[in-house]
Amino acid sequence: MPAEFLQMGSFPKAWSRRGAQASSALTLTAMSLGYGVVQLDVTIVNTALDAMGKSLGGGVAELQWVVSAYTIAFAAFILTAGALGDRIGAKRIFMAGFAIFTAASLACALSPNAVVLICARLVQGLAAAILVPNSLALLNHAYADDRARGRAVAVWAAGASLALTAGPFVGGALITLVGWRAIFLVNLPIGLAGLWLSWRYATDTTQARSREIDLPGQLTAIGALGSLAGAIIEAGALGWAHPAVIAAFVGSAVLAALFVWRESRTTQPMLPLSLFGHRLFTLTTIVGLLVNIAIYGLIFVLSLYFQRINGLSAWWTGLAFVPMMGAVLPVNLLAPRIAERIGPCLTIVVGASSSALGCLGMVWIEAGTSYWAIFAQMIAISGGLGLLVPPLTSTLLGSVEKARSGIAAGVLNATRQTGSVLGVALFGSLLASDGAFMSGLHQSLVISAAVLLIAAAVIGLGARAPARAM
């Protein structure tokens, strides 16, 4: 009889265990939706650039702002958003971010002109910055076991890679069937589902009221990055010697200096400068910046090339990017094994060099060049990116104390998004500077190759010296 009672008592425990597992799985679903929708909007918008320009009457500069407004806010706010989640609770902040992202997506879809669209994209970027760090915090809270947490993070990251791959295809299909506004409306059901799952199943993190928000640092960071991007974007239309462009460059430099001064003085900085006392942390951060300048700047340029120069529809442009984006995920999965064999730094060198060779292999491209003539080069560019990102991330995280891994990951994300902003701004300005699109494209490819080779040299040569921890 005692055995029967024990057996009967095991049912509630088993049921409770299954309930907890289901709750964790549905929390993972909500977090994956949050990160996935952020990544989806990174690539889906590129297929709509030509349609947006024709509909709203914007030139290359306006299209640059449509892309850059999102990434500027994403890069500038991501560190503060993580601190805000620590202070108030990650669940509340994550749900607020999802709600803002969904509302901003609706505003994008209803935008009557380019100015409203750019402002709505800025708000979207702010929401994206909120979603990414807090989704990781909630996953960390939902999975106490290290092994289970590792698997959950892998699913979270794989969902984002899938969204990146699907973005061009989904965008092209929606634009062809419905129109460019539909690429933002698709976020509405995702946002509503993510909000409900988060509210119903996610458990909040412990509030750390002692965590301060570095508001002066945040404001100077936004000003410095926004001024720099604005100067580069407008230089394409106004000229590099225009007084407004020069003033923006000077303003960006002053604000950047103020940001560094502020971060060196405050007790709880938004960006702890002491992290850069770790050699590998500094090297991998620089590589992340340089790689994104090249890759995401080229994606912007190639999107316009396919549509404006070769006359491809949004549908075919989306299809053209699917193999390029799709190559990233399988190479991501192979990268750790390659890094185990030849070392993470050498793997990063090989990845960056592969992408550089892909860029150089496209320098001869002209109007009307067959897609299949540049197919292998596009795969080399994206495959190199897929190869270097996992060891880049793991090397950066391994270069600092575990207690600071969260802020280190945030710095890498912010730096890479900053690179994306600068790449789109620079390459877009080259397209607009003299009206010669193909000349600007050729310059963009050469600059990308040079930047990627510099990145390979930075990590290859710099990592030879022993890492130093403060």
| Domain 274-470 falls under CATH 1.20.1250.20 | yes
Rounded distance between C-alpha atoms, residue 419 and residue 432, angstroms? 20
CA diameter of the chain: 91
The reported pLDDT for the residue numbered 356 is 97
Fold agreement between 18-202 and 274-470: yes
For residue 387 the two structure tokens come to: 């190869």
The reported pLDDT for the residue numbered 395 is 83
The reported pLDDT for the residue numbered 261 is 94
- Taking residues 115-138, report their average pLDDT: 89
The reported pLDDT for the residue numbered 469 is 42
Q: Are 261 and 351 in contact (CB under 8 A)?
A: no
Q: Any idea which fold 18-202 has?
A: Growth Hormone; Chain: A; (1.20.1250)
- Taking residues 54-80, report their average pLDDT: 85
The reported pLDDT for the residue numbered 468 is 45
Q: Structural domain boundaries of the chain?
A: 18-202, 215-269, 274-470
The reported pLDDT for the residue numbered 154 is 67
Higher pLDDT, 459 or 64: 459
- Taking residues 140-163, report their average pLDDT: 73
- Taking residues 244-254, report their average pLDDT: 94
Confidence of residue 289 (pLDDT cuts 50, 70, 90): very high
pLDDT single digits (tens) 402-442: 656 667 777 888 888 889 889 988 998 888 655 578 999 99
Rounded distance between C-alpha atoms, residue 160 and residue 35, angstroms? 6
Among the ranges given (40-44, 65-69, 354-358), the one the predictor scored with the smallest mean pLDDT: 40-44
- Taking residues 43-70, report their average pLDDT: 85
Rounded distance between C-alpha atoms, residue 75 and residue 411, angstroms? 9
For residue 227 the two structure tokens come to: 């001024």
pLDDT single digits (tens) 295-340: 989 998 998 899 889 988 888 888 888 888 888 888 887 888 888 8
Q: Which of 363, 335, 333, 360 is nearest to 349 (CA)?
A: 335
The reported pLDDT for the residue numbered 467 is 46
0.85 exceeded by pTM: no
Q: What percent of the chain has pLDDT over 70?
A: 89
The reported pLDDT for the residue numbered 163 is 83
Q: Dihedral of the CA atoms 169, 173, 176, 178 (nearest 10)?
A: -140
Determine the angle formed by the axes of helices 328-342 and 314-326, rounding to 10 degrees.
20
Q: Dihedral of the CA atoms 453, 457, 463, 469 (nearest 10)?
A: -80
- Which alpha helices (DSSP H) does 305-343 contain, by range? 314-326, 328-342
Q: Are 180 and 55 in contact (CB under 8 A)?
A: yes
For residue 398 the two structure tokens come to: 């391994």
